[in-house]
Amino acid sequence: MESVCERMEDYGERTDPSTNRKSYIRVMSRIGEAMDLSEATLDSRVTSSLKFACETIVEHHEDEIIEFFAYEVDNVKDKLCSKRTDLCDHALNIPHDEL
């Protein structure tokens, strides 16, 4: 759990041109392959904000996270995001392969 938020450095910010909604996209592949960065903004402030948010979530919900992975719970994203917390009810229909 100590290093889980280090991966936030692998993300950049993307702004949807039609809605101006910001989202975060992977800018570094897990296996070192080149990725399309044309829609990503790479900014150390974004990385710092993501890392801080991750650390805060892990700090507040560490027991739940460990429990879900220890018991190999199905649909970890759904259970953590809405059943145990209210962190991301709005995003349950968006695929999150990171969990």
Average pLDDT, the chain: 77
Neighbour count for residue 25 (Cβ, 10 Å): 15
Contacts of 35 (CB under 8 A, 6+ apart): 26, 27, 28, 29
Which pLDDT value is given to residue 52?
Answer: 92
Position 71 pLDDT exceeds 50: yes
Q: Which long-range contacts (C-beta less than 8 Å, at least 24 apart) are formed by 52-56?
A: 54/4, 54/5, 54/8, 55/5
Whether the predicted pLDDT of 99 surpasses 50:
no
Q: Global pTM? A: 0.66
Q: CB of 80 within 8 A of CB of 87?
A: yes
Element housing 26 (H / E): strand 22-26
pLDDT in tens, 22-50: 888 888 888 877 788 788 888 888 889 88
